[in-house]
Structure 1
């Protein structure tokens, strides 16, 4: 009786089985898998910065892309939930289904500590506020000898001390010194005086010499004060630091260079 399978038949069957398995493997990796996963295909990343998060979500879904929020910050000039940054950048080629990593503008601003602006200059206050992402509001001059010095700081009409909590992006109003002070007194009379003596008197009372205008043909000795502004009228008041203009007899002195 002959055997059902010779050794040659076994080898033949094994070869057929190996060929079948090989065809299945090649068909799976090179035909089926690419057709179901779009293997090797890519799509350009759309620009979504500036879009609101719900709109961007629907838009990316149409492009077969996904997103992931990996950061958030606050910018008072941008809308709540506006997309600030994205990665990959617009135009980059990625596979469908790829996640786009984004940062989003927060709806509510974080709280920060109010910086100290008092006793510093307005210029310095503007630089500090900018570094804290705060905005300069109304600058109101008030009587004080410290010209352009910050005296008080306000948020929403309420005076705020350094270190108090305020919302990032808040508008800060400032009261600054006008350099004139708050003390009023009667306007001193200097008409008829020599201009150098009049200047000493005015400066000695905390006033400033404004314009000096020379008038010829007045009949008065040269250098005599003929007129002043403000006038020294009864009841006329002036404040420390204000200017006094003088009209003086004669011609303007010519400066000599030695």
Structure 2
């Protein structure tokens, strides 16, 4: 093909034709070819995949012209194994057809963790340590012990478990905890007929809890005299360290000087 350029006008015409052709090709590529090949303007709302199993995902996303890829796998206590716990992009976002959805799923098996030392810790401290390691607190079993809410033993599947033993994450650990009452029994002390001051001294010396005091009228006894107690002394009645004796005292419910000193 021969293009004649006998004049300056012919040259300008030819240059204009070349420029127009280049512009037409440029516009056709970006506004016709690319949109056609990339489905420009066609978008899909990302569905919520939370809780779905991996087995369900492929068909579910294929029906919506989407794909998926597992980005990470982690263990979650109480969650169904191999189920979606997080995704990117998030549900509700608009994406192009064929977009890959990155999913985060729960692992099939729980990793092992070392059993911590919980004995002699407070109950709240033990619960915090279990949560930090991904273990669950099981039953709380109260046992006679003066150390109130102090862990006395740690149990796994009903048996004591030593610190450092490997257990699956998510396992339930039962705790034996002191109830604040000792296991030693002795005869109930007799404080009937004593002054409140003497009764409180005896009770404190016996490692018993602070008594519940009720005031009563009794003209035959001087104010501040203990006229009744529960449990009663004698008849083989026993009491344990940390337990309580209730007292009935002559007078009003205003604190007596002896009681103030002992409090």
Which deviates the most, 96-105 or 119-128?
119-128
Root-mean-square deviation (CA), in Å? 2.6
Q: Please give the residue correspondences for 1:194-233 in structure 2 after superposition, counting only pairs within 5 Å.
A: 194-233=195-234
Matched residues in 1 for 2:195 and 2:36: separation? 104
Deviation at 1:155, TM superposition (A): 1.8
Q: Establish whether residue 57 from structure 1 lines up as the match of residue 54 from structure 2.
A: no
Matched residues in 2 for 1:215 and 1:78: separation? 61
* CA-to-aligned-CA distance 1:80-139 (integer Å, 9 cap, x gap): 111010001112222221111110011221111122221111122222222222222111
- The aligned residue for residue 9 of structure 2 is none
- The aligned residue for residue 5 of structure 1 is none
Matched residues in 2 for 1:36 and 1:102: separation? 27
Matched residues in 1 for 2:174 and 2:122: separation? 14
**Structure 1: gaps of 5 or more residues:** 1-8
* CA-to-aligned-CA distance 1:191-210 (integer Å, 9 cap, x gap): 11111111111211111232
CA contact (8 A) 2:224 2:256 kept: no
Aligned CA distance change for structure 1 residues 194 and 24 (closer, same or farther; 3 Å): closer
Q: SS of the counterpart of 1:180?
A: coil
Matched residues in 2 for 1:250 and 1:33: separation? 99
| Number of aligned residues | 243
**Alignment TM-score, normalising by the size of structure 1:** 0.84
Q: Establish whether residue 193 from structure 1 lines up as the match of residue 194 from structure 2.
A: yes
- The aligned residue for residue 84 of structure 2 is 83
- The aligned residue for residue 147 of structure 1 is 148
* CA-to-aligned-CA distance 1:139-176 (integer Å, 9 cap, x gap): 11101110110111112212122222111111111100
- The aligned residue for residue 136 of structure 1 is 137
Matched residues in 2 for 1:245 and 1:57: separation? 71
Matched residues in 1 for 2:250 and 2:190: separation? 17
Q: SS of the counterpart of 1:182?
A: coil
Q: SS of the counterpart of 2:58?
A: helix
**Alignment TM-score, normalising by the size of structure 2:** 0.82
Matched residues in 2 for 1:111 and 1:96: separation? 41
**Structure 2: gaps of 5 or more residues:** 5-13, 258-263
Q: SS of the counterpart of 1:145?
A: coil
Q: SS of the counterpart of 1:209?
A: coil
Matched residues in 2 for 1:55 and 1:186: separation? 70
Deviation at 1:78, TM superposition (A): 1.6
Aligned CA distance change for structure 1 residues 141 and 254 (closer, same or farther; 3 Å): closer
- The aligned residue for residue 6 of structure 1 is none
Matched residues in 2 for 1:70 and 1:198: separation? 72
Q: Establish whether residue 158 from structure 1 lines up as the match of residue 159 from structure 2.
A: yes
